[in-house]
Every structure is written in C-alpha cells, then in structure tokens.
Amino acid sequence: MERSPSVSAVVFDIGGVLVVAESAALALAPSVGVDPRRFDDAYWRHRPAFDLGGLSPAEYWGAVAAEVGLELSAEQVERYDQVDAARWARLSPGRGELLADIAAAPVRTAILSNAPRSLATRVRAGWGAWASTAVFSSEVGVMKPDARIYELVEHGLGLQGEGIAFFDDRPENVAAARERGWRADVWESPERCRGALRELGVLGA
C-alpha cells in the first residue's frame, strides 16, 4: 500500500529554479552593441519595480536603455520585452519531467514568482497550466519575501503550514516560507528536489 504524502501541495519559484536563463546581457545587449556589464547592472537595478507591476514595459526598458545611453523605439521595446519573457518562460532541462511526475502525484501544485506581467502571460499560456494556482508579483503588487504573497498562495491552495512544500533559489524567500510553517528548501537541482519529495512521500522511490 502506498503511503499518503505528508504534504498536500508543492510550490515552485521560476527564475533560478524551473528556469535557469543566460544573463540579460548575453541575450540582449549584443544586438545593440552595449557593454554587457553595464546592461546587466541596469537590467537588474530597475527590475524590482517591473516585477511589482509598477512599471510598464515601455517604462522599464526605457529606464534600462537610458542608463546605458540608448533610445529604443516602440518596436524595439516590444521585441526586447518578448525576447526577455520568452527566455524566462523556457523550462530548463529536467524540469518538465519533474513537473509531470508531480502532476501525477496526489498533491496540488502552485507557482510563486517575482515576475513581470509579460512573463506571467507566457507561463500561464504554456507549461504553467500544470499549476493549480499561480501567483505572480506583478499581478498582486507584492513580492517575496513579503508575507502577504505567501498568504495569497495559501488562499489559492486552500492550505496552510506544513502541508505545503516550497522550492526557491533565494535563502530569504525560503526563510519567509518557513516562518509560515511551510516545508521550504533552497533549490539545488532536479535530483535533489526529487529526493526531498520522496522523503515527503510525494514521489515514489
């Protein structure tokens, strides 16, 4: 007889967990001849406001471009935003198989990500259909590690505390989840995740 899992839901972050993308500079800067280090610095400096939904794509990419001495047309803004969203929405090796195995287990599933609306839209239209619940910072105006975004996941799942397993690449986000009683771990690899989920009874041997 199979034992019942000791958790009722599994929650994943996206960036650095389900998707490990190359740097923004490598993906985007070469097309406009900008120094990659300057581009990456500008990309991440303005990213929190974009992930919170406080900046439109035009405002975000405009701020990045201005910092590195560029002017972008509306068409370039649209292209940059779509290229960037596409690279963050592409599952890394081994993740699709992991999600499929979890989908076959008797647990609910969720995504919890600090991400802009363009990425949320792509994920929801693609592999994100795997999730019972998806909470994106740009859609709710709050981001990890703020406790309020974890509450929204709990509300969506109808669960609280140790019934939820969570994987994120940032220790501060994991710590915030543990404060709510979640069984949270810093992501290392699909293999380590599988091991943790076996110990919790979510996946079989």
User: What value does the mean pLDDT of the chain take?
Assistant: 92
Condensed to tens digits (0 to 9), the pLDDT of residues 175-199 reads 999 999 999 999 999 999 999 999 9
Q: What residues does each domain of the chain span? A: 9-19+91-199, 24-88
DSSP summary character for residue 4? P
* Residue of 45, 32, 104 whose CA lies nearest to 72: 32
Give me the pLDDT at residue 181, please.
97
Find the DSSP H helices in 20-134. Answer: 24-28, 36-45, 47-51, 57-67, 74-88, 95-103, 117-125
Give me the pLDDT at residue 1, please.
32
Q: What is the dotted CATH code of the domain comprising 9-19+91-199?
A: 3.40.50.1000
| 164-168/183-186 β-pairing | parallel
User: Across residues 153-157, what is the average pLDDT?
Assistant: 97
| Cβ(147)–Cβ(113) below 8 Å | no
| Cβ(84)–Cβ(28) below 8 Å | yes
pTM: 0.92
What six digits make up the tokens of 145?
A: 């590690």
Does residue 88 have a pLDDT over 60?
yes
**For the sheet containing 183-186, what is the strand order?**
133-136, 108-113, 9-12, 164-168, 183-186
In whole angstroms, give the CA distance from residue 96 to residue 82. 22
Condensed to tens digits (0 to 9), the pLDDT of residues 18-31 reads 999 777 766 676 56
